[in-house]
Amino acid sequence: MVVSSIRVDLSQLIALAAFDDVSPRGIAGELARLINAGELRHGDRLPTVRELGAALGVSPATVSQAWQALARAGLIVSRGRAGTFVQGNGSGWPAARMRGMAAPEDPVRLDLSRGTPDSLLLPALGPALSRVSARAATGSYQAEPVIPALAAVLRESWPSDAEQIVVVDGALDAISRTLEQVVRYGDRVIVEHPGFPPFLDLLDVLGAEAVPVALDEHGVRPESLAAALGRKPAALLLQPRAQNPTGASMTPARAEELARVVRDAGDDAADLVIVEDDHSGLISTEGDATLGTWLADRVVHVRSFSKSHGPDLRIAAVGGPRDLIERIMSRRMLGPGWTSRMLQTILLDLLTDGAAIDAVAEARRAYYTRQRALGDALRARGVRAAHADGINLWMPVVSERSTLVQLAAAGIRVAGGSPFLAAADGTDASNGRYTAGPARTRGGGDFVRVTVGVVRDDFDEVADALAVAGRQVVAGGY
């Protein structure tokens, strides 16, 4: 028997499955067998945890644990209030929104879709490698996970007084491991709208509900955060500088205001952990801003070196309360253990070598110049593009699909805006309505993300193509 309806009938599911073992492992195993056998199909909506729990005579918590196991295996996906759906037989890689961001491999004249730094602006690795080869040692399994000299350099530049700072394999590794420690199935997590798509994919895997908050040119709006805190979230995900995709950066004044909102929320924010993703760090033209200055006991701050020193280094630093950082590292020791100390030594060299420091400073100036040149050119052509920090620009268009088609015909690729939207209908879920911000204009409309950082010249030509495509609507209902 094959369940063919979009919503799986509870009685059909009970008839299909043996459920001899009603432990979380047994329930997950039985559902996994049905999915792998094609009895439950991609897109089928499963009963709620309460419905299935009542039918099996177990608690909703027992079914929730089974759901979490299935989600981690990529077999089901939670879509918040919309329900839990069959994802397929482990074919959910990359995750849904990351697939939406992935660019095809066919060549184009100018690829502005990837959100990566200009390879010509990265510091040279050759000198660092030659020096590191003479110093790097094998180390031991019991040694500290971060080499002391690197820890000292990181602490000198950290924006607040973190109890412990360690390194991991990139910013997303740090954020994923932090969320795994503080977010349980069914918890709510505040996210920026628009925001970074992998954050939303992570919340789907964890079975958490995303609570979107609106942005302005300084990041999260205080009144939107205050409304969202009323839903008693477990975590708040922020990008303090060069927010992806809008390029907004928090000022210290805005950070202090948001910290005050959290304090004033009282019991609603009693267990809130704030995770800050400073992904553009050393190439951002704005200064450090962190809520950790006022809320050090609940802020985990992540600084990535991918955009400043190279994506393939796969190193980010993470600092925060000692207890939480130690839990993260304890769990990590059962997986990768530590970030390669040879890579850590390379990063230490790059952070202290004069030539590498100058190269990063020059990259920061170049990205600022490119942002200003293309942004000014777009605004001169009537495009309402906000001033942005970092390497990305969030551009309003009449139709996302039409813009992608028109630009592709001109040999230019940008990223569609849809995967970045935490609220698909353009509303702010924290208060049930949208308040104007970069995610969506009052009059509606779509967006695309443009990686300005890789535009080296011909700013007027690129702006012409972007502006014309953004105003077009092609035939076929776009």
HEC string of 96-127 equals HHHHHHCCCCCCCCEEECCCCCCHHHCCCCHH
CA distances (Å), origin 155, targets 81, 210, 299, 311, 352: 42, 32, 15, 22, 14
State which residues form the domain around 137. 122-354
Query: What pLDDT score does 282 carry?
Result: 94
- The model's pLDDT over 282-320, given as tens digits with 9 standing for 90+, comes to 999 999 999 999 999 999 999 999 999 999 888 999 999
Query: Would you say residue 435 has pLDDT above 60?
Result: no
Classified as helix, coil or strand, 224 is: helix
Query: Would you say residue 439 has pLDDT above 50?
Result: no
Let me know whether 368 and 293 are in one domain: no
CB atoms within 10 A of CB 155: 14
Query: What pLDDT score does 230 carry?
Result: 96
Query: What pLDDT score does 475 carry?
Result: 45
2 within domain boundaries: no
Let me know whether 46 and 134 are in one domain: no
- What whole-number distance in Å separates Cα of residue 68 and Cα of residue 61? 10
Let me know whether 110 and 75 are in one domain: no
Query: What pLDDT score does 438 carry?
Result: 37
Cis amide prior to 252 (ω within 30 degrees)? no
Tell me, what amino acid is at 407?
Answer: L
Query: What pLDDT score does 101 carry?
Result: 62
Q: Which domain-ending residue is among 295, 319, 354?
A: 354
Query: What pLDDT score does 418 carry?
Result: 92
Intra-chain end-to-end CA distance of the chain, in Å: 39
pLDDT (mean) for 123-152: 78
Let me know whether 349 and 439 are in one domain: no
466: CATH: 3.90.1150.10
Query: Would you say residue 239 has pLDDT above 80?
Result: yes
Among the listed residues 364, 190, 369, 219, the one whose alpha carbon sits nearest the alpha carbon of residue 280: 364
Let me know whether 331 and 360 are in one domain: no
Let me know whether 425 and 405 are in one domain: yes
Let me know whether 147 and 218 are in one domain: yes
5 within domain boundaries: no
Lookup result for tokens 């959290």: 262
CA angle, residues 232, 237, 238, in degrees to nearest 5: 125
Report the number of distinct structural domains present in the chain: 3
